[in-house]
Amino acid sequence: MSSSSSPIITSLQNKRVKELVSLHSKKGRDEQQSFLIENKHLIEEAIKTNQLTELIVSDTYEGELDFHNKLIVTDVICQKISQTTSKSQIFGLCKFKKQELKGNYYLVCDNVQDPGNLGTLIRSVVSFGWDGVIVSNNSSDFYNDKCIRATQGALFHTELHRGNLIELLIQLKQKGLKVVSTDVHQAQPLSKLDKSPMALVVGSEGQGVSQEIVMMSDDVVMIESSHFESLNVGIAGSILLYVLRN
């Protein structure tokens, strides 16, 4: 690490440390409009996309990663702000970014509550060239640590939206996108669906897509498998994103 004249924060009671620890909760993240990341790869992805606002490093860190805005802390504080057991010595602070619905292909998550599944879906959205992810207010938080790690940095490379799904889907329909819901009942085979601009809606394993959204959909599709219900939403959604990629 390059030398710095910045003072080292040593107290766990420091206000700045308490602010960072509060980012472990969705409430804290929403209040500060910020989230924490840890590990070199994620920080590098945040730097590439100009989304890193502060680098937080241990005073014993000997790596080469550096940033113009840097906070230096002790290893004890690193353990306090870390959300893993890997004894990280390097963290990144990122701000939420304001985004608009500019794309033509979105994955929409209705009540997807597992952060690992959501992270997998975000990674697939980026991998298969879709424009963004929209989640319902009762879905997992994009900035949950487990979700962030599951994305492998993909969340920095796509649009992320949260809100009332009915309102957001109406906006997309007004832009000319069709709404396509997944269902195992009264659905056409996936192979018969055309790939015109769309909002593809997936639901939770337990409940699926809500009936209100199914009723407003232009198409309802299923994966041609007699065991579709055994696939978790991360796997099922990724298959759909691959097959329907533009």
Which of these, 169, 167, 165, lies nearest to 218 by C-alpha position?
A: 169
The yes-or-no verdict on residue 227 having pLDDT over 70 is: no
pLDDT digits (tens, 9 = 90+) for 2-22: 444 568 999 999 999 999 999
Mean confidence (pLDDT) of the chain: 92
- Which pLDDT value is given to residue 29? 97
Q: What share of the chain has pLDDT > 70, as a percent?
A: 95
pLDDT digits (tens, 9 = 90+) for 171-203: 999 999 999 999 877 778 788 899 999 999 999
* Under 8 Å between Cβ of 125 and 158: yes
CATH number of 8-95, picked from 1.10.645.10, 3.90.1150.10, 3.40.50.920, 3.30.1330.30: 3.30.1330.30
- Which pLDDT value is given to residue 3? 44
Instruction: List the structure tokens of 43.
Output: 């920080």
pTM of the model: 0.92
Query: What's 105-243's CATH class?
Result: alpha beta
Q: Is residue 147 packed enough to be buried (19+ CB in 10 Å), middle (13-18) or exposed (0-12)?
A: buried
- CATH 3.40.1280.10 in the chain, residues? 105-243
Mean pLDDT of 219-242: 80
Q: In angstroms, what CA-CA distances link 93 with 35, 209, 215?
A: 6, 34, 41
- CATH 3.30.1330.30 in the chain, residues? 8-95
DSSP codes joined into one string, 101-114: ---SEEEEEES---
Distance CA 128, CA 156 (A): 15
